[in-house]
Amino acid sequence: MRLALLLILLSAALWAPRGHALDARYQVYAGLLQRHVEWTRQGKASAVDYAGLEAERSRLQAVLAEFSAVSRAEFDGWSERQQQAFLINAYNAFTLELVLGRYPALKSIKDLGGLFSSPWKQKFFRLLGEERTLDWIEHEMLRPRYQDPRIHFAINCASVGCPALRPEPYRAEMLEAQLDDGQRRFLGDRSRNRFDTASGVLRLSPIFKWFEEDFALKGGGSLRGWLGARANQLAEGEPARARLRTAEFRIEFGDYDWSLNSLRP
């Protein structure tokens, strides 16, 4: 009887969907993020302990091997939220691995590129059965497939100017809350997005310039519409928020800090 039960359990484990295996692998990834990523600037940004992560690089590579083992057929069988969470996690985890390949001899992820190349166009990993680039995940999968501008606050480019890398993986059952939270944190970061009531200027991160079409798609056809609908997150005080809602503002874009998002002692 015990032998029969053992065989049934073993068979179930062997035939369990890949999604369950990934849930287990996310646990390993979760541990790495919890140990080596810290919130900064009152929770508006985060920094990575790359030195500590480098000491556990073999664990990260095991996570990436599990990601790479997912076939396109398996991926296509998942829900949209499972797919999105997987792609965001893959983007962020492979970015960490890319940085570790040259750490500590780099000050910016851009140091990994060249005159005619960029780190985001390098084919350095396999995903869904083929050699891929970070650009492929972002521009050929996440942006056109799901059309959710909140992903711009979820994927992390290992730079200070980038939205925070969360100290936890993205998960399908938590995805909506995680994306909303990432958006709230980034829009509320006054070092990157702030409204000056005296001048009527809304100064924004360049992310909104680079991906204006994505935000306009969800803002009634304009970036201003998207921003106005989120006035409560962009400004303090009802008078300022009212001006944003009625589009009584000019937009200026700030600089982008490409220095490595490394945790400093």
Is 30 within the bounds of a domain?
yes
Helices (H) and strands (E) in the chain, counts: 14, 7
Q: Are 208 and 107 within one domain?
A: no
Is 3 within the bounds of a domain?
no
The verdict on whether omega for the bond into residue 104 sits within 30 degrees of 0, i.e. cis, is yes
Number of domains in the chain: 2
Are 134 and 50 contacting, i.e. CB atoms less than 8 angstroms apart? no
Which stretches of the chain drop beneath a pLDDT of 50? 1-18
**Domain, as residue range, for 211:** 194-253
Q: Would you state the pLDDT for residue 20?
A: 56
Q: Are 23 and 149 within one domain?
A: yes
Q: Are 35 and 135 within one domain?
A: yes
Give dist(CA 8, CA 205) in Å, integer.
55
Q: Are 177 and 202 within one domain?
A: no
- Give φ, ψ of 146 to 5 degrees: -115, -20
CA angle 20, 59, 167 (to 5 degrees): 75
Q: Would you state the pLDDT for residue 72?
A: 97
Q: Are 111 and 210 within one domain?
A: no
Are 125 and 94 contacting, i.e. CB atoms less than 8 angstroms apart? yes
Are 175 and 148 contacting, i.e. CB atoms less than 8 angstroms apart? no
Q: Would you state the pLDDT for residue 113?
A: 78
What's the pTM? Answer: 0.91
Q: Which of 89, 214, 81 is nearest to 154 (CA)?
A: 89
Render the burial of 54-87: b for 16+ CB within 10 Å, e for the rest.
eeeeeebeebbebbeebeeebbeebeebbbbbbb
Are 195 and 234 contacting, i.e. CB atoms less than 8 angstroms apart? yes
Is 5 within the bounds of a domain?
no
Q: Are 118 and 244 within one domain?
A: no
Q: Would you state the pLDDT for residue 163?
A: 97
Is 83 within the bounds of a domain?
yes
Q: Would you state the pLDDT for residue 15?
A: 36
Q: Are 220 and 120 within one domain?
A: no
Is 263 within the bounds of a domain?
no
Q: Are 243 and 145 within one domain?
A: no
Q: Are 73 and 200 within one domain?
A: no
Q: Would you state the pLDDT for residue 219?
A: 86
pLDDT in tens, 24-45: 769 999 999 999 999 999 999 9
